[in-house]
Amino acid sequence: MDKGCYCLVFANPACTVRVGALGKLPFADGWHIYIGSALGPGGLARLIRHLRLARTKDRQPKWHVDYLLTDSRFTLAYAVSAVTPERLECQLAAGIGGRDVPHFGCSDCTCRSHLLYRDRDPADEIMAAFARLGLEPLPSKNSLSGR
């Protein structure tokens, strides 16, 4: 399977979610963008795992993003990915930027966060950030679309 990076885009109401060692985190009503890497042995199959978990919500959370994928208040609206052998998820997170959830999804890097917040659908911003990095974004609409 190809390797790359991706964004998971969630729609959610205002709520509080316990996220592993991060504890209880408040989430504003709106949209949250999780930026991840798929450079491991399974490559972009990691994205397929996320999509499956969002539909079934049948596993114990392992990573920070799993807590959102398994929470019924978070709807995975869509995902965007790109094929690349380079570790670009940190640059992608910085390129999208803006309000974030501190320490979320970035335990293996020096970024402040890999979970960003928007009050409206961030699709155009995400596509532009991929393009600025020279990546061809591949949208992957999920059948669980929310708002």
Amino acid 58: pLDDT: 84
108 close to 127: Cβ distance less than 8 angstroms: no
Residue 146 belongs to some domain of the structure: no
Its domain, for residue 82, covers 4-141
Amino acid 96: pLDDT: 97
- pLDDT tens string 71-99: 999 999 999 999 999 999 999 999 999 99
pTM of the model as a whole: 0.92
Rounded Cα distance, 147 and 145, in Å = 7
Residue 107 belongs to some domain of the structure: yes
Amino acid 146: pLDDT: 38
75 close to 15: Cβ distance less than 8 angstroms: no
Residue 119 belongs to some domain of the structure: yes
More confident residue, 144 or 17: 17
Structurally, the chain folds into a number of domains equal to 1
What does the pLDDT average to over 48-67? 91
